[in-house]
Structure 1
Amino acid sequence: MPVSRPLVLIPSYNTGPILPTTVAAALEQDVDVRVVIDGSTDGSPALLEPLLNHPRLRVEVLPKNAGKGSAVLHGTRAALAEGFTHVLCMDADGQHPADLIPRYFGISKIHPEAAVFGRPVFDASAPALRVNGRKVSNFWANLETMGWGIDDSLFGMRLYPAEELVRVFESTCFARRFDFDPEVAVRLAWRGVPIVNLPTPVRYLTKEEGGISQFRYLRDNTLLTWMHTRLFFGFLIRLPWLALRGENPLLSYSPPVL
């Protein structure tokens, strides 16, 4: 019978002083936490030194920035080598609520075959451009998967079955940078991995609070456009099979009731 032994995986690139706060909040949930510092140049390893004695924390430092997806792949392979079965990805910038980690883990224990995707619940701090702009990507992701159940293609707080996630990475040379979240979502759906969507509050920190964003409007939207163009043609190739396979078996589980 499938089991779930999850950990929290936090990829980080030049997150600054908010990084140790994010990591400490995750550790407060009494879970295993792995941080992958993706070639940061802001002194991130030194910022985490006060936490390094924590028995459930491991930090890896990559010598060169390779992108969020590459950092997640590195961390997921390391998690599998340690005997973990699932990784809960959280952004390092403090946007994601650590107190929901037990909910994600709880769903995974009930449905270890599933990926648990956060469905963002925005508050007044969310930039309207970001909130409305993601609707385009969500439309294409659901078209490319025939409505498999991706409520938000861009949200970064997600729990993945680790082996399935690695297989997705191995099936493509893409999904290594900002395109990671939407591309792996579509490819997991193509593989038939059930998806559960968990409503998750999002907080956009101000600069005074230590908030930082690596999003670059022109660069990253160009990357997303190219990605969805590729995925659309991949969808056309898979269309006969996708039309015959049925719907996501856990579609009615969203939002979940435990």
Structure 2
Amino acid sequence: MTPIGRVVVVIPTYNEAENIAWIVGRLRAAQPEVDIIVVDDGSPDGTGAIADGLAAADRAVTVVHRPAKAGLGAAYLHGFRVALAGGYDVIGEMDADGSHQPEQLDRLLAALGDADLVIGSRWVPGGSVVNWPLRRELLSRGGNLYVRMLLGVRVHDATAGFRLFRRAALEKIDLASVQSTGYVFQTDLVARVLRSGMVVREVPIEFVERVRGDSKMSGAVAAESLRRITAWGLRERARQVRRALQR
């Protein structure tokens, strides 16, 4: 079992003034040894200023300010680069709205012993969602089934955003070549880790729908993710056919 080392969790924010102090406080209480990088995309509601206050009071909190909203994936990529430059051994992802419960981060940390990427999964035995309508659950389950079938990704919750990467995994998948900036970024990184021959583990979590602030997910975002995944799947199938014909 490889030692875990220094751990940091990247939390991207856009208009999360109602949530950021709350979620940072919960994470610091649940895992006092884990550092935090808040990546704020120029939130007009003052989220960045609140995060700066948290950082001024707690050396475990760092804030990165970006000039404008540029997508979830872009924010995470920026945070990952900062974390790698800071020498962290394990780099995590977590939403700012409380849907990912910091009190369950210990489950992910425990599973990291023999894994390169650990995902907090809604759709493995023991996983669950709270306050989701049936339509949304079916959409998420169906989308993940589509990902498994089209991309050959043997993960039940490839779209999940509660996860931990070992440093070596992020270095191996070449973050500089990642072009997905929206929510499809999550699926992209899972596929890259698996294609690189690394180990992905899923652990069950309880996902709680946000109760404060507005969701950033929309029909347009979901449609764009579907288009990108379909294009990747078709390219992968074409590569498989070419390899078969060359044998």
Q: Same fold (TM over 0.5)?
A: yes
Structure 1 residue runs of 4+, over 4 Å off? 240-243
> Retained in 2: the 8 A contact 1:67–1:177?
yes
1:159 aligns with 2:164: yes
For 1:81, the aligned partner's letter is A
- What's 1:125 paired with? 131
> Retained in 2: the 8 A contact 1:137–1:153?
no
CA apart distance, 1:107: 2.2
> Retained in 1: the 8 A contact 2:20–2:47?
yes
CA distance change for structure 1 residues 241 and 51 in 2, over 3 Å: closer, same or farther? farther
Provide, for residues 98-151 of structure 1, a one-character-per-residue CA deviation record: whole Å limited to 9, x for no partner.
01222222322x12x4210111133441132221101232122212443x5311
> Retained in 1: the 8 A contact 2:145–2:156?
no
Root mean square deviation of aligned Cα? 2.4
CA apart distance, 1:242: 11
TM-score (norm 1): 0.82
- What's 1:115 paired with? 117
- What's 2:41 paired with? 38
Identical amino acids, percent of aligned pairs:
26
The runs of 5 or more residues in structure 1 that have no matched partner are: 244-258
CA apart distance, 1:181: 1.3
- What's 1:19 paired with? 20
Among 135, 145, 148, the residue aligned to 2:141: 135
- What's 2:216 paired with? 214
Aligned residues: 235
> Retained in 2: the 8 A contact 1:79–1:87?
yes
2: CA distance, partners of 1:224 / 1:74: 20
CA apart distance, 1:50: 4.0
For 1:215, the aligned partner's letter is M
CA apart distance, 1:49: 4.2
- Structure 1 residues 1-258: aligned runs within 5 Å: 3-5=3-5, 6-28=7-29, 29-30=31-32, 31-52=34-55, 53-108=57-112, 110-111=113-114, 113-120=115-122, 121-146=127-152, 148-165=153-170, 167-173=173-179, 175-206=180-211, 210-217=212-219, 219-239=220-240
The runs of 5 or more residues in structure 2 that have no matched partner are: none
- What's 1:251 paired with? none
For 2:184, the aligned partner's letter is D
TM-score (norm 2): 0.85
Provide, for residues 78-114 of structure 1, a one-character-per-residue CA deviation record: whole Å limited to 9, x for no partner.
1111111221100011111101222222322x12x42
2: CA distance, partners of 1:42 / 1:32: 24
